[in-house]
Structure 1
Amino acid sequence: MPDPSLMEQLRADLTTARKDRDKLRTTTLSTFLSEVKNREIEQGRAVSDDDVRGLLTTAIKRRREASEQMRAGSRAELAEKEDQEAALLQAYLPPALGEDEVVAMIRDAVAGGASDVGGVMKAVMPHTRGRFDGKELNRLVREALAG
């Protein structure tokens, strides 16, 4: 039997969280699935696993930014909740890439003819999306091109 799609997995986990009365997990997954539903309505079609991964990445980034703002505002308990939600959603993404792996991809892109930041980013982004921070990737590309 093939692996379940990411959406099927998310829905199954939401059902389990509801049965277990896991409030944080239920709220986080319900909120995220409603974001996915809104994207389906916008696009007028069902979302693919790649679409869901993109939405996951955005949702995690938003929660991490919110966490930083909460900490800056001395609201540690709210920041902790945002961190927990981000970690919960992170589990649905493939494992993160290490900096060494990304640097190797950048070298390959440069060797393949990409000579500016945009060209290298275009070559590397499809392989790193959801698995490596975009700001960090941009920094590494700039360093590789400068050096």
Structure 2
Amino acid sequence: MSLLEQLNSDLKTAMKAKDKLRLTVIRSLKSALTNAQISAGQDLSSDEELSVLSSQLKQRKESLQEFENGDRADLADQTKAEIEIVTAYLPEQLDEAAVTAIVDEAMKATGATGKADFGKVMQYVMPKVKGRADGALVNQVVKSKLN
């Protein structure tokens, strides 16, 4: 089942259950995917769909940070719930140990030894973790390994 088919199915379920939050999030995800599909001028590949979902998740995490900094607990709670819904459509996220193993592999493959090789390592790692790891975590692990 494609992601859009899954979203359509879940949309119907959320409508029947009168789950307004889930309904809003699913509509938002469908809209983002449709806009990306229109921009691309063709159907999205699964990697492109993951990329769109990852950006939606990232936006919500940034919003959550702003709401917490602004002492808006009501909006922060709603955004946390939205993050959980979006996360359900993404593949299982890699933990720090798994990211570290991929970074180690990248360092061996690229021959990276210092900070100057940061770009090479990131270029090797990001396609392998796309949609499965937060870019900030990858960045942090690469920087710590290259220091």
Distance 1:94 1:32 in 2: 15
Spell out, residue by residue over 1:33-52, the C-alpha distance to the aligned partner (whole angstroms, 9 max, x if none).
11111111111111122111
- For residue 127 of structure 1, what is the amino acid of its counterpart? K
**Which structure 2 segments of 5+ residues have no match?**
none
- Structure 1's consecutive aligned runs of 4 or more residues displaced over 6 angstroms after TM superposition are none
Give the root-mean-square deviation of aligned CA atoms: 1.2
Spell out, residue by residue over 1:80-107, the C-alpha distance to the aligned partner (whole angstroms, 9 max, x if none).
1111111101011111111111111111
- Alignment partner of 1:90 is 2:87: yes
Q: Is the 8 A contact 1:96 1:132 kept in 2?
A: yes
Q: Is the 8 A contact 1:121 1:141 kept in 2?
A: yes
Cα distance 1:106–1:76, how it changes in 2: closer, same or farther (>3 A)?
Answer: same
What SS is found at the alignment partner of 1:112? helix
- Name the TM-score, length of structure 1 as normaliser: 0.91
Counterpart position of 1:62: 59
Counterpart position of 1:20: 17
- Name the TM-score, length of structure 2 as normaliser: 0.91
Distance 1:19 1:111 in 2: 52
- Alignment partner of 1:80 is 2:77: yes
- Alignment partner of 1:102 is 2:99: yes
Q: CA deviation at 1:114?
A: 4.1
Q: Is the 8 A contact 1:7 1:52 kept in 2?
A: no
**Which structure 1 segments of 5+ residues have no match?**
none
What SS is found at the alignment partner of 1:92? coil
What SS is found at the alignment partner of 1:42? helix
User: What is the aligned length?
Assistant: 143
Q: CA deviation at 1:61?
A: 0.9
Identity %: 38
- Alignment partner of 1:139 is 2:140: yes
- For residue 31 of structure 2, what is the amino acid of its counterpart? S
- For residue 125 of structure 1, what is the amino acid of its counterpart? M
Distance 1:15 1:122 in 2: 40
Counterpart position of 1:29: 26
Q: Is the 8 A contact 1:7 1:49 kept in 2?
A: no
Distance 1:33 1:129 in 2: 20
